[in-house]
Structure 1
Amino acid sequence: MAQTAAKPEYPGDKEYVGGCHCKKFRYKFYWRPFENGERAVGNCNCSICDVKGLLYVHMDASAFELTSGTMDELTNYQFHKKVFNRYFCPLCGVEMWETKPSENMVGVNVRTVDGVDVSKLKLEPYDGRTLL
């Protein structure tokens, strides 16, 4: 995850930035616009997403870059089948992203993206409760 985020793959991709509440950890990624309902955001009902209110967009790991703080400083949490690594700030407790190494995938919690108004998002239900 120490790589530089790849430039946009598709016309219209844009750069997003965000991070945790205390601002110790910051990231950026490139993805298609989603903040005004242009693209669906995953609303998973698994035990962790449901209780934390996590909302995700998933992308290839090459589109994501940690810009402040280091991976070694983050706390990683795994549960159930342990296929996802969930990273959160050990200071303020905010979960910012998850990775699925077997698929070279990063999922960003859009609640941690700067300037996103959750009321404008197009939420797409994902049945993680029975699939994960």
Structure 2
Amino acid sequence: MHPWKSLASPKRPLHPLALAALLAASAVPVMPARAQPTSANSAADTGALASYNLPAAALDATLTGIARKAGKVIAMNPALVQGLRSAPVQGSLTLEQAFSQALAGTGLEATLGANGSYLLRRTPAVSSRSDEGPWRKRDCPL
């Protein structure tokens, strides 16, 4: 018999150990899947108002608490938030408003991903130099 032929050919049945492994793997209990919100539901959920009264605190703890209250997840690189404190978060706010208040002055933003979770990232820098872009001073004859 050639090595590339199927091990379970009609001429050669499966080894009892291989058969036992297949049966054990098929007997793994299946947990019911938790309903995941659709992207339309996720967008609608983020517009819901919640009451916040959070003092300035460690940024990672504040952001995690805000996300948890809304039933969402926020992923962050610990290096981004190390040593940073959140601004106070107070009022009846949407999830995005609560994140914005907490992140004020940090140079960071929470962005909504396609799967309904949030990702913390640096705010994209906006150039303030007037000689950048398609219309540079040196290129303009005026």
Alignment TM-score, normalising by the size of structure 2: 0.22
More strand by share: 1
**Looking at both structures, which has the greater relative contact order when contacts are Cα pairs under 8 Å and sequence separation is at least 6?**
1
Alignment TM-score, normalising by the size of structure 1: 0.24
Larger Rg: 2
